[in-house]
Structure 1
Amino acid sequence: MMKNKVQLITYADRITGQGINALSNLLNGPLENVFGGVHLLPFYNPIDGSDAGFDPIDHSAVDERIGTWQDIQALGEHYDLMADLIVNHVSAQSFQFKDVLKNGKKSDYWDLFLTKEDVFPGGMSEQEQKAIYRPRPGSCFTPITCEDGETYEFWTTFTDNQIDINVKSTPGIEYLDNVLTKFSQNNVNIIRLDAAGYAIKEAGTNCFMLDQTFDYLDKLSAQANDLGMETIAEIHSHYQTQVEVAKRVNMVYDFALPPLILHSLFTNNSDALVQWLKISPRNCLTVLDTHDGIGIIDAGPMGEKPGLLNAAQIDNLVETIHANSNNQSRQATGAAASNVDLYQVNCTYYNALGASDFDYLVARAIQFFAPGVPQVYYSGLFACENDMTLLAESNVGRDINRPYLDADIICESLAKPVVKGLLKLITIRNTHNAFNGEFSVTGNTNSCCLKWRKDDNAIEFKINFETREALIIEHTSSEQVLTSLNDLLA
């Protein structure tokens, strides 16, 4: 069972400039007793593909430049350890796909990969193509000519270097079984089901989060549970979908929370935030920032379904992020760079808030007091600003928030008041027993109160968005302790 303590999200190489052992040393040294678990972002071979490890050539191998499976085991002995099961796709550079390129349909691995013909054997109509839900512009198919002289249209949901897996086929099932088994043998106890919403494709549907997808997630989750691992579904979608997914897996991400917190801080209006916290899944992970961009669609309308925020509020949210970041986020978002997703804004959360130390701590306090287990991304831990140099070098929008750090940068960052304040908040979240109790939320238009109670102990966070008065109040049977968020910055 995952510890109810703050977790770190990080790449092994980008946080230390080295590898898994260096990350372990950081967690057992300067960051000792800060985190209960680690989401170790793709450490597979290679870590530096076209999508920073999310396009594995060999999903069952650790990139030898950063360590070994023994290093993964050692890390998992001391921390909850989460790894990504990349459900939807594999690299076009994988030995399996190279064999397909060489042998076409005669390849032993032909059935591992999904083609248009697999889903639309009688051909696809224009209407059917328009119905497919897309995370990026353009077609979801890439025509590729094999050495047999035939050209086949392979399903490539994200990029043409990420070939979709046929998860229903025997080779597809065996491929994912092998990775799950490798995880279970090496102290990985939590599985993040990456891009799982796209895994099942059916003709005549939008090929995203179908009833069959829910059934598939049920089976995959049960399989992981049988191996002693919990599952987390990683799905960006309408907020009602998240509520439904939460019923089918061990945990789900609360991706609606990050944009709602920004909206509250930008408009001094907490109505949407309070509305969501009253109905949000309790079996969730909370984030503000991740290795991807800041999700927007999770709080907005989708088709005929109204959102927690309306279209005008979403537009204002995005434009305010751009303004707060001095338009740096605009350079990294949408068609401005080589982006996979158009429904996310690429920017550090710190810069999205105009690099305001106080507002950033308010955002973290709301996250930590919201239902779920909080995760803090490594760049957010150190309140990093947008990495425009890396963005210019790579022209990959997400790199604006995927910096390469080293020991000197970490040492300097740990001395910053905002980072010291964040570490104090993490300590409160990790140690107060009330967070193991019952949650409640109250509020009016301009303020809200997030409260936890267990037996005679209670803790609450009160924020007035208009006046920016923010207090943490601890209650016991005999006393009341008030801590101003401003005091944490002192």
Structure 2
Amino acid sequence: MQGAEKIRKRLVHIYGQEKGNQAFKRIYPILESFPAKAKVKKEYFSEKDIVLITYGDSLQSADASPLETLCLFAVKQLKNRFSAIHILPFYPYSSDDGFSVIDFFTVNPELGTWEDIQQIGNHFELMFDFVVNHISSKSEWFSRYLAEEKGFEDLAIEADPSMDLSGVTRPRSLPLLTEYQKRSGEPVWVWTTFSADQIDLNFNSINVLEKMVKVLLHYIDNGARMIRMDAIAYLWKQIGTSCIHLPATHEVVKLFRDIFDLTAPDVINLTETNVPHDENISYFGNGKDEAQMVYNFTLPPLLFYTFVKGNTSILSGWVKKLVLASSNNTFFNFTASHDGIGVRPLEGILPKGEIDDLIDIVKKNGGQVSCKQNADGSESPYELNITYVDAMWRNMGKPDPYHAERFLASQSIMLCLPGVPAIYIHSLLGSRNWEEGFMKTGRARTINREKLNIQDVLTALDDDGSFRSRVFSPYMSLIAIRRLQPAFHPNALFEVLDVHEKVFVLKRSGKGQTVFSITNVTEYPVRLAWMDDDQQVMKDLVNGQVMHTEEVLLAPYQYRWLVPKQ
């Protein structure tokens, strides 16, 4: 099917025959006028792909703008290790650390300029956030909605506050509707899924769709290789439903994919849906028509649980069930991001008591717990707010001798799983909880979003004895090794080997290479009888050691990447 007709049919599917054709007449000329980019990549991803996740101002300097500082650090420290940088929302905003966008088209001047973004793009591929569900109440768009200007009159979703909306799934424990006043003096209640400052956009409106398609093309035009569909699961609203994962939401995601395929076929559509695994992977569609990548949201909390319990059984069982819709899909593997560690993805995997154990450890280690509102009006834990480094800490009232090693062991597992690894800057730099920041803002997520002085960071990285250096240096070595192994291609074959409950063993095979990733998740030494059919001489890619594999020895939290010795 030709691109134009495919998009027309998609719009008709979303809006119905008459309205869909109207939408096509407004949307398609915009696509036609866009300078389409040619397809240059043979495949969407490879074993060399590793993404850094960072705010535009995570690193700060008195001598340069935050984006200039990020660029200088990345070029000097991260080149030939990371392939892409996800710069979290760098637009002007009014709240939620960037996710309440005032203007989708501009760079926050406190961070830098589009030229700074493009300078980073000269060295790394770029990922941008498409904050598609909502816009700031301080935005010009919303002001024009309140003024009832033509083209903006249906921007927001209005609802009667007397209606029963208790069945709507919420990621927050805040009122769903917020009252505003139009310029005429008329009060209006609008849908605000995330906060009173974040006005949900009405995608049932062709006006809204047209505006957001222009935003999407603007990001592609400014160099985005990957587009993160923020909070996409909540996009379409239909009263009387849960308003999450609705069929129309999936159709809009497919529409965006159609637009990418037509205008920029190398661009990757990444959906961000912090929900149980089966719901999450539904955004792969049929493998070719929706997202190319989805966040592997189950991994961070399940890996945390694995190291808390010192037992790999549940992790191994879960990894065995990982399935990709096609070779055009893969997982976006991560253990930490700007948000906390999601709890919902553990639903159906761990009983409530085990999740409560994780919550207790997070609190003991100085973290916080965020809750969500359920359909019945009750609240339940939604997110554990803590740096992943401190989630891996054993707070025993005395120094933890294995803190760095335990954290790095968790990252070794993440790096070996099928998918593209993504590493939050505070994990790479070994950051601890920013308790001062949390006390200052009162927001739980601040604990994982410290702004760092670049000179302090560089000084710590140059000190071999500092905790930052003890994390950063071996982490960077692991990344360098990983990028050279064809068996770590995101879609290479994988097999979990059940050898010992204290050891996670993953066999990866592809392009003529086999790698055995072996990780001890405990503070005790472990001896393994070799788990493959043939005992052979192996080389450990991590430390260069050559060994006979009748027996494999693992020190506490040791990880080995073994390949047959040539």
Q: Which AA in structure 2 matches 1:38?
A: I
**Pick aligned residue for 2:229 from 171, 183, 193:** 193
- 1:244 alignment counterpart: 282
Deviations 1:173-225 (A, max 9, x none): 12211111111111111100000000011122100012222222111222233
- Measure, in 1, the Cα distance between the counterparts of 2:197 and 2:77: 38
1:86 matched to 2:140? The reply is: no
* Alpha-carbon separation, structure 2, partners of 1:57 and 1:470: 54
Q: Which residue of 2 aligns with 1:267?
A: 309
Normalising by structure 1, we get a TM-score of: 0.88
Structure 2 equivalent of residue 26 of structure 1: 73
For the pair 1:206 / 2:259, whether they are aligned, the reply is no
Q: CA deviation at 1:409?
A: 2.5
Matches of 1:158 and 1:263 in 2, distance apart?
28
SS at match of 2:497: strand
Q: Which has the larger radius of gyration?
A: 2
Contact 1:3 1:36 in 2 (8 A): no
Q: 2:476: which partner in 1?
A: 423
C-alpha displacement of 1:76 = 1.9
- The answer to whether residue 414 in structure 2 is matched with residue 358 in structure 1 is no
Contact 2:409–2:558 (8 Å) recurs in 1:
no
Whichever residue aligns with residue 392 of structure 2, its letter is: L
Which residues in structure 2 correspond to 1:271-286 (within 5 Å)?
Answer: 271-282=313-324, 283-286=330-333
1:184 partnered with 2:231: no
Matched to 2:253, the amino acid is L
Q: Which moved more, 1:75-84 or 1:366-375?
A: 75-84
Letter aligned with residue 29 of structure 1:
K
| Residue 316 (structure 1) shift | 1.4
- For these two proteins, the number of residue pairs brought into alignment is 463
Alignment counterpart, residue 272 of structure 2, candidates 230, 234, 237:
234
2:346 alignment partner in structure 1: 299
Find the aligned partners of 2:322 and 2:513 in 1 and give their Cα distance.
24
Q: Distance in 1 between matches of 2:323 and 2:162?
A: 37
Q: What letter is aligned with 1:441? A: V
Out of 183, 189, 206, the residue aligned to residue 153 of structure 1 is 189
1:138 CA drift (Å): 3.2
Whether 1:131 aligns to 2:186 is no
Give yes or no for the alignment of 1:344 onto 2:377: no
Match of 1:111 among 154, 171, 191: 154
- 1:383-425 residue CA offsets vs partner (Å, 9 max, x unmatched): 1001111111111211100011122222144242122111111
Aligned-residue CA RMSD in angstroms? 2.7
1:317 aligns with 2:358: yes
One-letter amino acid of the structure 2 residue matched with residue 480 of structure 1 = M
Per the alignment, do residues 40 and 366 of structure 1 end up closer, same or farther by CA in structure 2, a change over 3 Å counting? same
> 1:253 and 2:300 equivalent?
no
Aligned to 2:509: 453
Q: Give, in whole Å, the separation in 1 of the partners of 2:445 and 2:218.
A: 29
Q: CA 1:287–1:238 in structure 2 vs 1: closer, same or farther (change >3 Å)?
A: same
- 1:397 and 2:444 matched: yes
The one-letter amino acid paired with 2:119 is: A
CA–CA distance in structure 2, aligned partners of residues 296 and 254 of structure 1: 13
SS where residue 288 of structure 1 aligns? coil
Establish whether residue 288 from structure 1 lines up as the match of residue 335 from structure 2.
yes
What is the deviation of 1:269? 2.1
Matched, 1:56 2:101: yes
What's the counterpart of residue 303 of structure 1?
Answer: none
Q: Would you say the 8 A contact 2:487–2:510 is kept in 1?
A: yes
Corresponding letter in the other structure for 1:233: T
Of 366-375 and 430-439, the range deviating more from structure 2: 430-439
* Residue 304 of structure 1: aligned partner: none
Paired amino acid for 1:430: R
* 1:100 partnered with 2:145: yes
Give the alignment's TM-score, normalised by structure 2. 0.77
Give the C-alpha shift of residue 471 in structure 1. Answer: 11
Supply the distance in 2 between the matched residues of 1:295 and 1:464 (Cα, whole angstroms): 24
Find runs of 4+ consecutive structure 1 residues off by over 3 angstroms.
Answer: 105-108, 332-335, 464-473, 483-489
Identify unmatched segments of 5+ residues in structure 1.
Answer: 118-122, 301-306
How far, CA to CA, are the matches of 1:413 and 1:179 in structure 2? 40
Q: Secondary structure at the match of 2:85?
A: strand
Helix, strand or coil at the partner of 1:142: strand
Greater mean deviation of Cα atoms: 234-243 or 154-163: 234-243
AA partner of residue 384 (structure 2): V
- For structure 2, the 5+ residue unaligned runs are 1-43, 325-329, 373-378, 395-402, 464-468, 544-553, 561-566
What CA distance in whole angstroms lies between the structure 1 residues aligned with 2:227 and 2:511?
33
Distance change in 2, residues 1:30/1:159 (3 Å)? same
